[in-house]
Amino acid sequence: MSHFFVVACNENGIVTDQYISDNIQKALDSPFEFSDIFIYSHGWWNTANRATQDYNRFTLEFAKSMKNLIKQKNKIQGTGNSLGIGIYWPSMLSADPDAFFNTFQAASFYTMEKRADAVGEHAGYMLLQQIASAKKPPKRLVLLGHSFGCKVVCNALQKIQDDKDVVASLRKMSLSLVLIQGALDSDHLEKGDAYGDISKVFPELRILATSSSQDTALSTWYPRAQLAKITTIFSERSALGAKGPTAKVAKQYGGVSEVSIHPGSTYDSTHNQSSRFVLCDVSPLHTDPKNSDKFSGHHSDIFHEELYEAIIGFIATKANS
């Protein structure tokens, strides 16, 4: 990754940097002319310091993996000339990590779930508009989310559908969506649901999603939090990052290719998977108790060379026609 910067927004998804539009246009113009753009969104319960640390680590390690693969013969094609954009959104009750209000952070699930959608609808939407309107748009656009960050990137694509000029420009790019331990319902990508229009509006879009049996946050707490809603009181909802997509979602995307990512896996695990939806079981990577949290399990255990290579192999693969 050649360059990386962070876009900050408020709780409504309004970007607070008055120079952001100019900066993005400069980044997409000469002499940079980035061929690949990666948009990242963190999830719930992150301070600014924690989000920055995670972005720094993930993007640096991911870029290193990509550079190494590009240098190898017969590996992925690419220039390595890429721009990373991280979205920072207030995902805690207070920006002060020591604030008393954060004692009740666990009770803010529903609030932060809605906030993630608002961030996608506004900040994510704005970024897609800027990228699509560049004098020389990138050839490849990858949207990556972790946890509630998956709602951010999904809603950005969902809400952009009525902007025909932007959609037309995005369709000319190699468009990928990477949902790492997605904290969204397994059926949210179904037609008629929260992000159900994405598959139709972007027929070339490909999705890679990860799931893990060791993710306590999604397998245990996510369904319980959903049951607290009046609208879901009679049915338990499962998370994409725990159970994977529903059969209806799989049908919309022409089927789901399932792969297991284990220690030692390389980009080959996904590079030959040309379906539009690839589900990666990362449970075999979640064995070290040092990477587990008492509350969330291995929900945030995402810093693995094998995962980076799986993502790279996926985005470098063309979908079935």
**Interval 243-252: pLDDT, tens:** 999 999 999 9
What's the CA gap between 44 and 50, in Å, rounded? 11
- Residue 214 has phi, psi (to 5 degrees) of -100, 10
pLDDT at 221 over 50: yes
Return the pLDDT at 217: 93
Q: What is the residue type of 254?
A: G
Pair 115, 91: CB distance under 8 Å: yes
Domain boundaries, the chain: 3-315
On the 0-12 / 13-18 / 19+ scale of CB atoms within 10 A, 154 is buried
Q: Alpha-carbon distance 318 to 96, whole Å?
A: 44
> What tens digit of pLDDT does each residue of 260-316 get?
999 999 999 998 788 999 999 999 999 999 999 998 999 999 999 999 999 999 998
The single residue listed with the structure tokens 């290579």 is 309
Closest CA to 302 of 145, 162, 154, 87: 145
Q: Tell me the pLDDT band of 95, cut-offs 50, 70 and 90.
A: low
Provide the whole-model pTM: 0.93
Cα angle for residues 255, 59, 284 (degrees, 5° grid):
50
Q: What CATH architecture does domain 3-315 belong to?
A: 3-Layer(aba) Sandwich (3.40)
